Amino acid sequence: MINMKNIRETISSYIKEPSFIFFLVFLASLVAFIYKTMQIENMTNNYVKYDKIIDRLSILDNDFDMFLSQKLTFVNYDDVTNDIKQFRVNLSLLEKAKFFNHYSKKIKKDLDNLKIEFGKKNDLIERYKSYNATTVSSLSYIFSFAQAMKYKKETYKEINGVIFDLTKLFIGIKLNDKTIDGDIRDINSIYKKDSKDDLKYLWLNVKQTTKNILILNELNKDIKYIKLKKIIKQIRYKIEQSYKKKINNLEILSIIIFIISIIFLFIFVYKYIIFLRNAKDLVSFRYAVENSDNIVVITDADRNITYVNEAFIKNTGYTKEEVLGENPRILKSGLLPQEFYDEMNVLLDQGKKWSGDFINKNKYGKIYYEKASITPIYKYSKLMGYLSIKLNITDYIEQEKRVIHLAQHDQLTGLKNRRAMEIEVEQNLKDAKVAGVRVAILFLDLDNFKNINDLLGHNIGDLLLKSIAKRLKNNLDESDSIYRFGGDEFTIVITKNVNEKNILMIAKRVINLVNKPLIIKNNDISSSASIGISLYPEDGEDMTTLLKNADIAMYSSKISGKNRYKFYYENFSQELKKSINIEHELSNALKNSEFSVVYQPKYSLKNKKIFALELLIRWNNEKIGTVSPDIFIPIAENLGLIYDIGKYVFAEACRDFKDLKQNLTDLKHISVNVSAIQLNDKNLKKDFEKIMEEEKVTPKDLAIEITETSLMRNIEENVKILNEFSSAGFTICMDDFGTGYSSLNYLVQLPINNIKIDKTFVDVIFSGKKELEMIKSIISISDNLDFLTIAEGIETQEQEDLLKHLGVDFGQGFYFSKPLPKKELLTRYK
Amino acid sequence: MLMKKAIFSIFVVSIFLFADGITPIPLKVTDVNPKKVSLGHKLFFDPILSRNDTVACVNCHILSDGGDDNRRFSIGIDGQLGNINSPTVYNARYNFAQFWNGRAKSLKEQAFGPIENPIEMGNNFPNLIKTLKKSSYKQEFNAVYKDGITKQNIVDAIAEYEKTLITPNSPFDKYLRGDKDALNSVQKEGYELFKSKGCISCHNGINIGGNLYAKFGVFEDAKSKSLGRYEVTKNKLDKYFFKVPTLRNIARTSPYLHDGRYNTLDGVVRFMLEHQLGRKAKKSDVHKIVAFLLSLNGKLTK
């Protein structure tokens, strides 16, 4: 049963194939053509057959006429009898239905006429036979009588006359009735005179013969009225015409059929060539489909899988055998809602193409993503099945996730970045608004991070950031989000239990965490952070405002001395306005002559005489008041203003030196602080020389004071530059010595003249044993290397005495003199 | 005078001179289907053809005795008497028509007649076919004819058999074939008279007759009850015209003429000479002609 159905389906599918139909039509036409050709031959054969019959009828009719012309002759009637029989037989051959089918039913009428006329002729012949037979025997009697008669001359003469008349009749000479009647009367009168038997029979025979001859003559006349010949001719003509017409039609028809069959043959061949090409294409397509990276699945109309390609097997883990006949829903992961499939089915049921992304699971339960398009396949407007082309996009999706992760995370610390923060905080604020809760943003900036970077290099700086990030991450609640905002800035967003007390505790904890000592690559690093806190909703309704305000609060912490936290409050903003405007004001400070300089003396501990003056800059702005160099110098460095400020300071020193030298006779030089950034300016020395030339001072009148920490960065280069300055005649003074990390090796290489012992050592000279030892070491090194030592920040008599005792050469500090403007200094030491 | 006589002689001679008047019967029948013949043979002898299983063809066409029944009129079913003399079945195939009035053009047509004639076999074809189908004829017909037992096939078989009923090798045929001793001198004279008296003008051809119609009573009224061919054609001209019968085996088929009015050949020859030929019948002539007629007996089929 199934086989039969399959076969039927196969056949019907072939029959539907256009090229096959064309082939069938071609075959049918060819058969029709052959059939028509055979018909033509058949018709010709038939025509020849019937024509022969008509021929025979015609010949027989001629025979009949021949027979009828043999008047008064003895004839063996078998011949004519046979002829009649033959005529009848041939006639019956024409009477058959086939004959009319071959020609026309109209011929039937002619044939009927033919039969009627033949009947007439037949009757005539029969009559002719009868009368001819009688007449022949009568004539025979009469001639025999005449041959043998022995009568009187008169009688003889009379009989002879009669016989002569009969002879005339016999040979066809017409006699009038009178003559014949006369003859018969004559014979009768002879018989009556001489009543002999033979005369009686003579009279009877003459009477009979004359009568018969007349009848025979009449019959001969009648022959003319029989139209047998004409009808035969007519039939012959008609069948010939009919035959010619039919043959002509058939020939035209068969030519048409032949042309049609040729046309269909061409169409078939053309279609077949296309079919072959398609078949070739199909092989290529199949190869392409088989080896495509796209997953190809074909189902029947009931959505049972009928085909899957290699990619399917590779991606799902199923073998062909396992999935053929199955519904593709076996791949469902259940991760997509039913509505997703419902929407897809609505489209497919409408016969439309669907495309979308599946989340499926493979044979082993592993989830994978597919970009899929499903197209219903229609053939002759009947749904044949579905074609599904899918691409496994799992890698892509994962990659995308990674990209998003990367885009939202800081690579160095692994924390979420600013971008992520913006997205998440927006969401947090939305959620908080709905829930009616508060959110806190802690803005954290590491203090002095720039110094660490400058002194120890970026590597160490990076490691520091990493360590702090790790600490924060490990020690804060999971619900608290930490972001690296950029550089050394972090934000901490708190969404749970946001109240002042709680936030305060968290801020304290963060500061403690940052303050914890840290050893990075054998460097002891202490770090601190300034934190600003803003709260939603009171400090801002949107992220930008909240961040700005947290930043302001942080800035306030910085200004307030760093390593602390501050909550934002509204007036706070007003107070800090000037601070925030430092940068803006600083850039105009030089132009507006807002800078001024003061000098702090460096004096000999032995004779208390002023040996040198350290120039210190002061900035007084109308709006923001006096700003410490500790704050604005780094800003000036960042803004690139430091070069001009540096030149201004150096020029002031040069200009003031002569006046001061006149009053302070022991004054050797004025020292100017130069930052590492300035030092790296290639034009620095030229600029200084130009200024000195203008002010008519020499390098020995000036000292360059540079901090140990800034020297250590880029030490090799700095050694070179300082050597140039030193050889030019400048005094080189190392500031803040002891706080940095100078190695002895560098101390030897550097062209140092003076060393300043940092205030931190001096401060604890009585309490810190280590620091005292440190001072002693510095003094010892300086003795050995011919450095002059200067102790900073001497504030008491005891400090001065001890330092003097230890062998320090010079002192500086509030105990001797605070920094003073030039005017005041001149007044005091006049 | 002599001249005239010579002319007449030429006329007389010319009438019969070139006439190949009579031809012999073939020695064998070859144009038949043996199967049909054997079936027809069986039917010919079987009274099953008649309504009550009493009359067979052979009843009136006794083959051992000239192919007729030697009665003036034949006796049909239930002993009914016919009104016409039964013609011989022998050599009937050479007749141009069958029956005295020629109403059947062929043997087949003839065969319909007696079966359905109420005073001959008194049957009808539907009944006959029914009867035959119940008999062993069913297989026999099926063996010969595709369409089995039909009206046409029944008469076809009978006619086919009748075609075989010929009587070759009569002494006269032998004579015609060149055996000059086959006839004695009287018979030879009789043959000459047969020709010169004009008998041959009607009795000619292979069957010595049977190829034309002739008026019965040309010179004198023959007093016939039957109107002959007129009965078929209803044409006045055909009144008293009868088929000229065959003279083969004539000695075996008395009585003679359509109404069997003569029992002897002498009688019928005399009648013919006087009524049909208009001549005086001399005793010696009649004797000689009868002697000739006796030479026309052929070999009968057994």
Residues A74/B15, Cβ–Cβ less than 8 Å? yes
Q: Does domain A413-580 have CATH number 3.30.70.270?
A: yes
Segment A426-431 mean pLDDT: 91
pLDDT at B18: 46
User: Shortest CA distance to B212 belongs to which of B241, B185, B250, B190?
Assistant: B241
- For the segment A411-425, what is each residue's pLDDT rounded down to a tens digit? 888 888 888 889 899
**What interface predicted TM-score (ipTM) does this complex get?**
0.90
Q: What are phi and psi of A485, to 5 degrees?
A: -75, -30
CA angle A64-A68-A69, nearest 5°?
120
Is pLDDT of A175 > 80? no
C-alpha dist (Å) from residue B20 to A79, A324, B17, B120: 11, 101, 8, 39
Q: Is B221 helix (H, G, I), strand (E, B) or coil?
A: coil
Instruction: Check the CA dihedral A424-A426-A432-A434 and report its sign.
Output: negative
Q: Taking Cα atoms as reference points, which of A634, A765, A639 lies closest to residue A707?
A: A634
CATH number of B34-163: 1.10.760.10
pLDDT of residue A397: 86
Instruction: Tell me which residue in A137, A160, A197 faces B198 most closely, judged by beta carbons.
Output: A137
What are the beta bridge partners of residue A375? A387
In this prediction, residue A138 carries a pLDDT of 86
**Is cis: bond before B26, omega within 30 of 0?**
no
What six digits make up the tokens of A616? Answer: 């210190």
Residue of B nearest to A212 (CA): B218
CB A246 within 8 A of CB A44: no
Is the pLDDT at B5 greater than 70? The verdict is no
- Asked if B241's CB is within 8 angstroms of A137's CB, the reply is no
Which residue do the tokens 């600003």 mark? A532
Q: Name the residue of chain B whose CA is nearest to A71's CA.
A: B15
CB contact under 8 A, A74 and B201: yes
Smallest Cα–Cα separation from A535: which of A642, A428, A462? A428
Quick one: DSSP state of residue A496?
Answer: S
> Is the predicted pLDDT of residue A739 greater than 60, yes or no?
yes
- Tokens at A31, concatenated: 């058969």
3-state class of B128 per DSSP? helix
A29 near A264, Cβ under 8 Å? yes
Contacts of A324 (CB under 8 A, 6+ apart): A305, A306, A307, A308
Q: Domains of chain A: which residue ranges?
A: 293-398, 413-580, 585-828
Residues of B in Cβ contact (< 8 Å) with A167: 11
β-strands A625-627, A669-673 pairing: unpaired
Residue A1: what pLDDT?
Answer: 47
Encoding tokens for residue A136? 């022949």
Query: Among A76, A81, A129, whose Cβ lies nearest the Cβ of B20?
Result: A76
Q: Omega of the bond prior to A18 within 30 degrees of 0, cis?
A: no
pLDDT of residue A742: 61
CA dihedral B32, B38, B39, B45 (to 10 degrees): 120
Q: Residues A121-143: what's their mean pLDDT?
A: 88
Say whether B34-163 and B2-25+168-294 share the same fold. yes
Nearest CA in chain A to B207: A78
- Work out the minimum CA distance from B166 to partner chain A, whole angstroms: 17
Helices (H), chain B: 2-16, 34-44, 57-60, 107-116, 125-134, 137-144, 151-163, 171-176, 185-196, 199-202, 230-233, 265-271, 283-294
Look at residue A172 and tell me whether its pLDDT is greater than 90. Answer: no
Of A162-166, A763-767, B107-111, B269-273, the one with minimum mean pLDDT is A162-166
A209 touches chain B (CB under 8 A): no
Average pLDDT over residues B208-237: 90
Of the candidates A131, A161, A163, which has an alpha carbon nearest to the alpha carbon of residue A144?
A: A163
Beta bridge partners of A295: A390
The pLDDT, as a whole number, for residue A826 is: 87
Mean pLDDT, chain A, rounded, equals 86
Q: Please give, rounded to a whole number of angstroms, the shortest distance from the CA of A15 to a CA of chain B.
A: 42
What pLDDT does A7 receive?
A: 67
Of B212, B235, B280, the CB nearest to A130: B212
Residues in A touching B199 (Cβ below 8 Å): 137
| pLDDT surpasses 90 at A773 | no
- Write out the residues of chain B at the interface with chain A, using a CB-CB cutoff of 8 A: 4-5, 8-9, 11-12, 15-16, 19-23, 96, 105, 196-202, 204-206, 211-215, 218-219, 233, 235, 237, 241, 276-280
- B233 CB neighbours in chain A (<8 A) are 123
Q: Does A91 touch chain B (CB under 8 A)?
A: no
Residue A143 has its nearest CB partner, among B11, B19, B206, at B11
Residues from chain B contacting residue A144 (CB–CB below 8 Å):
8, 12, 196
Chain mean position to CA A436: 47
List chain B residues with CB under 8 Å of A205: 219, 278
Q: Which of A583, A599, A566 is nearest to A822 (CA)?
A: A599
Report the chain B residue with the minimal C-alpha distance to residue A72.
B15
Q: Once rounded to an integer, what is the mean pLDDT over residues B77-81?
A: 87
Query: CA-to-CA distance for A113 and A649, rounded, in angstroms?
Result: 155
CATH 3.20.20.450, applies to A585-828: yes
Closest-CA residue to B165 (of B71, B56, B282, B300): B300
Give yes or no for residue A642 having a pLDDT over 50: yes
Q: What is the DSSP letter of A335?
A: -
Task: Say what the pLDDT of residue A441 is.
Answer: 93
A214 CB neighbours in chain B (<8 A) are: none
Q: CA nearest A671: which of A615, A728, A629, A721?
A: A615
Instruction: Say how many Å lie between the first and final Cα of chain A, rounded.
Output: 134
Selecting from A123, A136, A146 the residue whose C-beta is nearest the C-beta of B15 gives A136
Contact A81 B235 (CB under 8 A): no
For the domain made up of A293-398, give the CATH fold: Beta-Lactamase (3.30.450)
Contact A133 B212 (CB under 8 A): yes
Helix or strand (DSSP H, E) at A6: helix A2-16
Q: So where are chain B's domains?
A: 2-25+168-294, 34-163
Q: Is the pLDDT confidence value at B278 over 90? A: no
At residue A722, φ and ψ (nearest 5 deg) are -65, -35
| φ, ψ of residue A180 in degrees (nearest 5) | -65, -50
CB contact under 8 A, B21 and A138: no
Please give the pLDDT value at position A187.
81
Whether B140 is a known active-site residue: answer no
Residue A252 in tokens: 């035209």
Please check the confidence at residue B206 and state whether its pLDDT lies above 90: yes
Residue A188: predicted pLDDT? 83
Per-residue pLDDT, A11: 64
What one-letter code names the amino acid at A240? E
Are A208 and B201 in contact (CB < 8 Å)?
A: no
Separation of CA B101 from chain center: 12
Mean pLDDT in residue range B160-178 = 94
Q: Classify A368 as helix, strand or coil.
A: strand
- The SS3 assignment for B87 reads coil
DSSP B275: I
Contacts of A165 (CB under 8 A, 6+ apart): A175, A179, A180, A183
Distances (CA, A) of A667 to A602, A788, A807, A825, B63: 9, 15, 21, 13, 194
Beta bridge partners of A368: A360
Helix (H, G, I), strand (E, B) or coil at A166: helix
Tokens (6 digits) for A231: 């009808």
* A314 contact partners, CB below 8 Å, separation of at least 6: none
A524 vs B70 pLDDT, higher one? B70
Q: Which residue has the higher pLDDT, A100 or A318?
A: A318
What is the per-residue pLDDT across A19-65, written as a single tens digit (0 to 9) for each?
677 788 888 888 888 888 888 888 888 889 888 999 999 999 999 98
The predicted-structure confidence for A210-237, as pLDDT tens digits, reads as follows: 888 888 888 888 888 888 899 999 989 9
Helix (H, G, I), strand (E, B) or coil at A719: helix
Distance, in angstroms, between A85 CA and closest chain B CA?
A: 8
Mean pLDDT of the B120-137 span: 93
SS (H, E, C) A378-422: EECCEEEEEEEEEEECHHHHHHHHHHHHHHHECCCCCCEEHHHHH
Cα A754 to Cα A504: distance, rounded to the nearest angstrom: 47
Q: Are A421 and A485 in contact (CB under 8 A)?
A: yes
Distances (CA, A) of A205 to A32, A151, A431, B9, B247: 73, 18, 157, 18, 25
Contact B8 A204 (CB under 8 A): no
pLDDT tier, A740 (very low <50, low <70, confident <90, very high otherwise)? low
Supply angle C-alpha B256, B259, B261, rounded to 5.
Answer: 55
Q: What is the DSSP letter of B272?
A: I
Is the domain B2-25+168-294 a CATH 1.10.760.10 member? yes
- A160 close to B (CB below 8 A): yes
- Classify B67 in phi/psi space as left (phi over 0), alpha (psi -120 to 50) or beta: left
Instruction: Compute the distance between CA of residue B142 and CA of residue A155 in angstroms, rounded to an integer.
Output: 76
Average the pLDDT over B60-78 and give the result.
Answer: 87
Task: Pick the residue from chain A with its C-alpha nearest to B202.
Answer: A133
Report the relative pairing of strands A528-536 and A439-447 from DSSP bridges.
Answer: antiparallel
Burial group, residue A10, by CB count within 10 angstroms (0-12, 13-18, 19+): exposed
d(CA B284, CA B281): 9
Residue A140 has a pLDDT of: 82
Say if residue B13's pLDDT is above 60.
Answer: no
Range from A331-340, A449-458, A793-802, B6-15 carrying the lowest mean pLDDT = B6-15
